[in-house]
Structure 1
Amino acid sequence: MITLIERASSFKDRVAIKSDGKNYTYNQLLAQSEHVSAHLLQDKKDLNLARIAFLVPASFSYAAVQWGIWRAGGIAVPLCEKHPLPSIQYVLEDTEATTVIYTEAFEQLLSPLFKSTNIRFLKYATITPKICELPKITIDRSALILYTSGTTGFPKGVVTTHANIEAQITALTTSWEWNKNDHVLNVLPLHHVHGIINMLSCALWSGACCEFLPKFSPKAIFDIFLKGEVNVFMAVPTIYFKLITYFNELPQEEQQAISNYLLKFRLMVSGSAALPVSVLKEWKEISGHTLLERYGMTEMGMAISNPYNETRRPGHIGQPLHGVSIRLADEKNQIVTAGEPGEIQIKGPNVFKEYWGKPEATEEAFTVDGWFKSGDIAIFDVDSYQILGRNSVDIIKSGGYKISALEIEEVLRTHPQIKDCGVVGIPDLEWGEIIGASIVIKSGKLFAEDLTSWIQEKLPAYKTPKKYLFQEDLPRNVMGKVTKNDIKKLFI
């Protein structure tokens, strides 16, 4: 059975979720998720791993839909609220989704697909109270497909089982000492592991409360902090950067009031991208907390973390989490000697099952003896791991997102005036990296503003280049391959 959902009956009348100005108990979550299951099942006894996509904002409704899909025997496929229709359509086609659950806010966006596909579109508002017999779900079943960019250029669907999810949750609840009195503010997108597992699922496993803030605003975040209910906060470095900037513009009296409340927090975490030491130091001055840095990926949840109770070293990601095995290996997958850089490789029950529909990519992601190859290079320094960078220049980490440069290049090359292009990550204090695109034009003139407007219709905003460089040709080596490090230097 799904332990995460079974545990909810132990917390009954406790508040599970705060969203849209309302409190929702664990009992209400169980009841509403059962209604969702009944509407999905119709006259079936089990969805039998049918892929059910959903486009629902961060809220009680999101959690009810996710649990409802799981309880009916389906695989949940959360869609990104900020993605344009082509990106959403790609996920629906790749997973062969049978159903899409959506809320009214996304009806206009999805409407072109209503008649052009055989997918069943189920409006959340039409899900009325309905009870049915639910199937028994074993934990070895596939549960979730999250999409992550890779060096193939197209996003890959990462399949995790209920057992994988349970391992990811318990690694964090054990290592970070989650308890039922915790109250976390969740400000991150719920189509990726940081928001889904680290906050929502860990809170619900523990009998704690997860509060949602659907639209990011530094003022709104600090206003919630000042209520004195939140004691756990997790965010990407970009958010901390924005909070610091906003805080520094406030009157001293307001700053002091915020700092007094932040001192009472139990845990503050930063992840999904490297945390600049300057941001860590500034936030400590404001809050009194040394942010806990950790390391993870969609394919494994979290794997390494700075300690909860002991000293946290700036620039380091810490030690393996409970139940996770880590090694550093060279290009031949041989373990490197102490102090030498190597690729982080992971083994444990937290590691994903497969890339959806891509057996070759799945096989390539693991060593012959079953270690997952992260693609990140690190060293073990004294008592903790320190990330040095990626072994591929085609992955850009910006604002907590892992973005494929090749995917953006493929879209840019469809522009009628673009002959060739090279996309790179440019170091940036606020975002970690921003996207830069070097463009070779076929003829005529092309302006950056027009190009930005054009690409925003085809890719989500976080995948849109922030800087452009127009060249007669791209730098290449003797083999004719574009040398992206040379492009980076031109931007820097």
Structure 2
Amino acid sequence: MTQADINQVIADRLTALEIPTDINTQAFPNIIALFDDALKRHENATACTSLGHSLSYRELDVLAGNFAAWLSHESGLATGDRIAVQMPNLIQYFVVVLGALRAGMVVVNTNPLYTEREIEHQFNDAGVKLLVVQANVAQQAAAVLPRTGVEKVVITELADLHPQPKRFLINFIAKYVKKLVPPFSIPNALKLRDVLSAGRKHPAVPVARVQADDLAMLQYTGGTTGVAKGAMLSHGNLVANVLQADALFGSYQLKGLGDTFVQPLPVYHIYAFTASMYALYVGAHTVLIPNPRDLKSVVDVFKTFRPRLFFGLNTLFVALTNDANFRSLDFTELKVTFSGGMALTEDAANAWEQLTQCPVSEGYGLTETSPVATGNPGGAQQLGTIGLPVPKTEVRVIDADNQPLGFDDAGELCIRGPQVMQGYWQRPEATAEAIDADGWFLTGDVAVIHPDGYLRIVDRKKDMIVVSGFNVYPNELEDVVSKHPGVLECAAVGIPDSKSGEVIKMFVILKDPALTEAALKDFCRTQLTGYKIPRHIEFRDELPKTNVGKVLRRELRESA
């Protein structure tokens, strides 16, 4: 089985589903041109909403232009300098990011929940010159700024772009009533509203200077497994991935202009970022949810906006389908539910579809692939798979000796396409380990390619458990255990054992408090072969997760 054979099978499948096999990566010279085109085409439509206030595409265009003008004329920064953006899902995020890109700066998305150690590492590693931070999360940044090269700080509050009196009321209540803004001191910090006002006094910023190979973003990854590395995403990477996502979503019942997309996942994460950029490109209305763990806010958004597309991931699907208020909603407008960021369990997918009558479509990607690499096409979803490669993307699986494998053989998934990053920032050795001489990115994920071109992820290589020489994949175990009616959520890890090398430990959050360890093991014996039965089961009230909702198996292994 040659690579050409695999490529042909996938191309034939895409063609049969009326999905293009190619995209014009030269359609826009940079991501700024793509956004400028969208902002002009959709100027009268609503672009984004947060905390009850919306911006039209025209308003977003003007505000992003003001921020770009301030950067170019008053910030003291130069083209290519790095700007850290640290805020939850707020409409000003789009203003700041689009403005920074328009000014030729490099965006460094920063998790608002980072610890001081993580912030210091990222700012110094990226060489951040300017920080735009939301006041609620500024305390940690303030503590480490003296130990970084950050020269300027811009502060934004929750409702900075709201009209009065809502702006005053929301910001006052957040700070003085709900005590959501811990005290901090950042000398000479600027206010976002003042910066935007200053930018209005300057002419618009031209964008022709930026080329497709120029760096657009440093998106940090790997923080859950070691020192975080900055994936270098170029303008060309981002343009390609937005167009690839557009080709994939063309197979769904979406109009783009006039559709409402609900985005509860943090837009500083690459999955939600590119999904939101695609929404802007097609003229959709993106409703941003600042805190998806506040299920009431998710319920309220669904009730008010009745979205056509919802972006989620497994843990959020589980939480929502078990929420009584969410279960009472009307889902007739919901046509597309997309899952990414972590493995989707069959039980979670079935529960969501049963409740909403909308199937969950799983996709796959990584920070290093901007991130979309594969996705299930509309009307041809295969539950348990990550779908087909998006246009202009090649996939293959390799064995331990880096030799290509055929259909249905499990091996490390490799991806090649215009969305693959340029490399890791200032880490040539790590880049060489991740991208081979032929441009294949080695994902670290174990996958199989089925004869119809669909892919299935078996597991992460580093999460694989080896019991007496047998490979055991946590995803399989979690999928089985989550089917027990008494289990709400679970995670499996391997722990050292003197006899078998490793044994399996399962961490479980109960739906039924009466469920016992013995009863759950008995259930596993009916579903799994002997060496896959968890040796240990620990009941917990919660599982450690990233802010995106991905379970941190490393922390579970360490605690075990």
Provide Cα deviations, 1:394-421, integer angstroms capped at 9, x if missing partner. 99xxxxxxxxxxxxxxxxxxxxxxxxxx
Q: Give the letter for the 2:194 counterpart.
A: T
| Distance in 2 of aligned mates of 1:289 and 1:341 | 30
1:305 aligns with 2:305: no
Q: How far, CA to CA, are the matches of 2:445 and 2:489 in structure 1?
A: 19
- Residue aligning to 2:221: 148
- The residue aligned with 1:62 is 93
CA distance in 1, matches of 2:558, 2:222: 24
Flag the 1:322–1:465 CA change in 2: closer, same or farther, 3 A.
closer
Partner of 2:393: 324
Q: Does the CA contact (< 8 Å) of 1:324 and 1:346 recur in 2?
A: yes
Cα pair distance change 1:372/1:16, threshold 3 Å: same
Could you tell me how far apart the structure 2 residues matched to 1:189 and 1:436 are? Answer: 30
Write out aligned runs for 1:58-97 (5 A): 58-97=89-128
8 Å contact from structure 1 (residues 40, 72) kept in 2: yes
Structure 1 equivalent of residue 284 of structure 2 = 208
Aligned mates of 2:377, 2:355 — CA distance in 1:
21
Number of positions where the alignment pairs a residue of Structure 1 with one of Structure 2:
414
Aligned residue among 166, 172, 179 for 2:239:
166
Question: Higher mean Cα deviation, 112-121 or 292-301?
Answer: 112-121
Q: Is 2:491 the counterpart of 1:433?
A: yes
CA contact (8 A) 1:17 1:210 kept: yes
Q: Where does residue 223 of structure 1 map in the other structure?
A: 300
2: CA distance between counterparts of 1:95 and 1:466? 26
For the structure 1 residues 97 and 170, does the alpha-carbon distance in structure 2 shift closer, same or farther, using more than 3 Å as the test? same
Q: 1:85 to 1:281 in 2, by over 3 A?
A: same
Superposition deviation, residue 118 in structure 1? 4.0
- TM-score, with normalisation over the residues of structure 1? 0.77
1:330-345 equivalences in 2 (<5 Å): 330-345=399-414
Q: Is residue 42 of structure 1 aligned with residue 73 of structure 2?
A: yes
Aligned equivalents of 2:430, 2:224: Cα separation in 1: 10
Aligned to 1:294: 363
CA distance in 1, matches of 2:493, 2:65: 43
Q: What's the secondary structure of 1:361's corresponding residue?
A: helix
Deviations 1:370-392 (A, max 9, x none): 11111111112342211111222
Equivalent residues of 1:436, 1:465 under 8 A apart:
no
Give 1:464 shift: 9.5
1:387 corresponds to which residue? Answer: 457
Question: Partner letter of residue 373 of structure 2?
Answer: A
2:553, 2:449 → 1: CA distance?
35
Q: Check whether the contact 1:3–1:166 (CA below 8 A) recurs between aligned residues.
A: no
Equivalents in 2 of 1:163, 1:369: separation in Å? 19
Note if contact 1:333-1:367 (Cα within 8 Å) is conserved in structure 2.
no
Using the TM superposition, give the Cα deviation of residue 76 of structure 1 relative to its aligned residue in structure 2, in angstroms.
0.2
Which amino acid is the alignment partner of residue 211 of structure 1?
Answer: V
Kindly report which structure 2 residues correspond to 1:133-144, keeping only aligned pairs within 5 A, or say none: 133-135=204-206, 136=208, 137-144=210-217
SS in 2 for 1:299: helix
What is residue 18 of structure 1 aligned with on the other side? 49
**Whole-Å Cα distance in 1 between the matches of residues 349 and 307 of structure 2?**
20
Verify the 8 A CA contact 1:376 1:389 in the aligned structure 2: yes
Question: 1:375 and 1:265, CA in 2 relative to 1: closer, same or farther beyond 3 A?
Answer: same
Partners of 2:321 and 2:194 in 1: CA distance: 42
The root-mean-square deviation of aligned C-alpha atoms, in Å, is 2.9
Structure 1 stretch displaced more, 36-45 or 75-84: 36-45
Q: Are the structure 2 counterparts of residues 468 and 270 from structure 1 closer, same or farther at C-alpha, using a change threshold of 3 Å?
A: closer
CA distance 1:37–1:77, shift in 2 (3 Å): same
**Counterparts in 2 of 1:266 and 1:17: CA distance versus 1, 3 Å:** same
CA separation in 2, counterparts of 1:184 and 1:306? 18
Contact conserved, 1:273 with 1:432, CA < 8 A, in 2? no
The yes-or-no answer on 1:264 pairing with 2:333 is yes
Residue ranges of structure 1 left out of the alignment (5+ in a row): 396-423, 439-455, 471-490
Q: How far apart are residue 40 of structure 1 and its match? A: 2.0
Query: What is the identity, as a one-letter code, of the residue corresponding to 1:9?
Result: K
Name the SS for the 1:102 alignment partner. strand
1:374 aligns with 2:450: no
Is 1:3 matched with 2:80?
A: no
**What's the CA shift for 1:141?**
1.3
Q: What is the distance in 2 between the residues matched to 1:84 and 1:431?
A: 26
1:322 Cα shift?
A: 1.8
> In the alignment, which residue of structure 2 is the partner of 1:243?
320
Q: State the partner residue of 1:346.
A: 415
User: SS in structure 2 opposite 1:53?
Assistant: strand
Mapped to 1, the partners of 2:96 and 2:130 lie a distance apart of 12
Secondary structure in 1 matching 2:213: coil
CA shift for structure 1 position 239: 0.2
Indicate if the aligned counterparts of 1:274 and 1:432 stay in contact, CA closer than 8 A: no
Cα distance change on mapping 1:230 and 1:99 into 2, 3 Å: same
Q: Is the 8 A contact 2:87 2:112 kept in 1?
A: yes
Structure 2, unaligned runs of 5 or more: 1-29, 156-191, 466-473, 483-487, 497-543
Residue from 72, 82, 85 that aligns with 1:51: 82
Distance 1:329 1:315 in 2: 21
Given that 2:123 and 2:148 are in contact with CA atoms closer than 8 Å, whether structure 1 keeps it comes out as no
CA distance in 1, matches of 2:492, 2:63: 41
